[in-house]
Structure 1
Amino acid sequence: MNARSVRPRRRILLALAATTLLVGPLAACSADDGGAAGGGEGDAVTGATIAIAGPQSGDPYYVQVACGAQAAGTKLGMDVGELQAPQNQNQAQLTTIVQNVLTSAPDALIYTPADPVAGGIPIQTAREDGVTVIDVDAQLDDDALYDSFVASNHYEGAKEITAYLAELIGGEGQIAAIGSLATNPITQARIKGFEDALKDYPDIEVVSISYPEISADVIQANAASTLVKYPDLKAIYTTNFLNSTGAAVALRNAGVVGDVKMVSWDAGAANVELLQEGVLQATVAQQPYAMGELAIEQIAKKLKGEEVDQTVDAPVEILTSEDVDSPEGQKLWYKTECD
Structure 2
Amino acid sequence: MPESSRRGLLFGAAAVSTGALLAACTSNEPKNARSDADTAPAADDKPGAPVTIGFAGPQADHGWLNAINENATSRAARYSDVTLEITEGSNDTAAQIGQVQTLINKKVDVLVVLPADGKALTQAGLQAMKAGIPVINLDRIFASPQAYRCWIGGDNYGMGLNAGRYIGERLKDKPDAKVVELAGMDNLELTQQRTRGFDDALKNYPNITKVARQAAEFTVESGQAKMAQLLQAQSAFDALWNHDDDQGVGALRAIAQAGRDEFLMVGGAGAKSAMDAIKADDGVLKATVLYPPTMAASAIDLARALGQNKGVGGMAELEIPASVTLYSAVVTKDNVDAYLPTGFS
Indicate the TM-score class for this superposition, using the shorter chain for normalisation. 0.7 to 0.9
- 3-state SS of the aligned residue for 1:118? coil
Which residue of 2 is the match for residue 282 of structure 1?
287
Q: Which has the higher contact order (CA 8 A, sep 6+)?
A: 2
Which entry has the higher C-alpha Rg, 1 or 2?
A: 1
CA deviations 1:271-329 (Å, max 9, x no partner) are: 335434634211123333355235533652475385442221224422224554x3x23
- Given the alignment, which residue of 55, 59, 68 partners 2:58? 55
Aligned residues: 285
The alpha-carbon deviation at position 197 of structure 1 amounts to 0.9
**2:275 aligned with 1:272, yes or no?**
yes
- 3-state SS of the aligned residue for 2:235? coil
- 3-state SS of the aligned residue for 2:343? coil
- 3-state SS of the aligned residue for 1:175? strand
**2:141 aligned with 1:131, yes or no?**
no
Root-mean-square deviation (Å) = 2.9
Distance in 2 separating the partners of 1:231 and 1:54: 43
Unaligned runs of 5+ in 2: 1-47, 311-317
Which residue of 2 is the match for residue 93 of structure 1?
95
One-letter amino acid matched to 2:108: P
- Given the alignment, which residue of 210, 214, 239 partners 1:210? 214
Distance in 2 separating the partners of 1:119 and 1:323: 38
Distance in 2 separating the partners of 1:249 and 1:278: 11
**2:75 aligned with 1:68, yes or no?**
yes
Which residue of 2 is the match for residue 122 of structure 1?
124
One-letter amino acid matched to 1:317: A
One-letter amino acid matched to 2:166: Y
Which residue of 2 is the match for residue 32 of structure 1?
none
One-letter amino acid matched to 1:53: A
The alpha-carbon deviation at position 213 of structure 1 amounts to 4.1
**2:301 aligned with 1:296, yes or no?**
yes
**2:342 aligned with 1:332, yes or no?**
yes
The change in CA–CA distance for 1:279 and 1:61 in structure 2 (over 3 A counts) is: farther
Which residue of 2 is the match for residue 226 of structure 1?
230
CA deviations 1:161-201 (Å, max 9, x no partner) are: 32112223455411111222223232222111111111111
**2:87 aligned with 1:84, yes or no?**
yes
Which residue of 1 is the match for residue 329 of structure 2?
317
CA deviations 1:76-134 (Å, max 9, x no partner) are: x6423164332x63333333332322222111011100112222243333122111100
Contact 1:171 1:201 in 2 (8 A): no
Contact 2:242 2:267 in 1 (8 A): yes
Contact 1:52 1:83 in 2 (8 A): yes
One-letter amino acid matched to 1:223: M
Length-normalised TM-score, structure 1: 0.74
The change in CA–CA distance for 1:65 and 1:144 in structure 2 (over 3 A counts) is: same
Question: Where do residues 170-209 of structure 1 align in structure 2 (5 Å cutoff)?
Answer: 170-172=172-174, 173-209=177-213
Contact 1:52 1:110 in 2 (8 A): yes
Contact 1:63 1:83 in 2 (8 A): no
% same residue? 23
Moved more, 297-306 or 170-179: 297-306
- 3-state SS of the aligned residue for 1:59? helix
Length-normalised TM-score, structure 2: 0.72
Distance in 1 separating the partners of 2:246 and 2:344: 15
Moved more, 129-138 or 155-164: 155-164
Which residue of 2 is the match for residue 24 of structure 1?
none
Unaligned runs of 5+ in 1: 1-44
Distance in 1 separating the partners of 2:217 and 2:330: 27
One-letter amino acid matched to 1:154: N
Whose helix fraction is larger, Structure 1's or Structure 2's? 1
Moved more, 240-249 or 284-293: 284-293
Contact 2:119 2:141 in 1 (8 A): no
Which residue of 1 is the match for residue 315 of structure 2?
none
- 3-state SS of the aligned residue for 1:190? helix
Distance in 2 separating the partners of 1:49 and 1:159: 38
Contact 1:68 1:289 in 2 (8 A): no
CA deviations 1:203-255 (Å, max 9, x no partner) are: 11011233234554443232222222221211111111233122212211111
Distance in 1 separating the partners of 2:190 and 2:83: 28
Contact 1:147 1:308 in 2 (8 A): no
- 3-state SS of the aligned residue for 1:182? coil
The change in CA–CA distance for 1:251 and 1:170 in structure 2 (over 3 A counts) is: farther
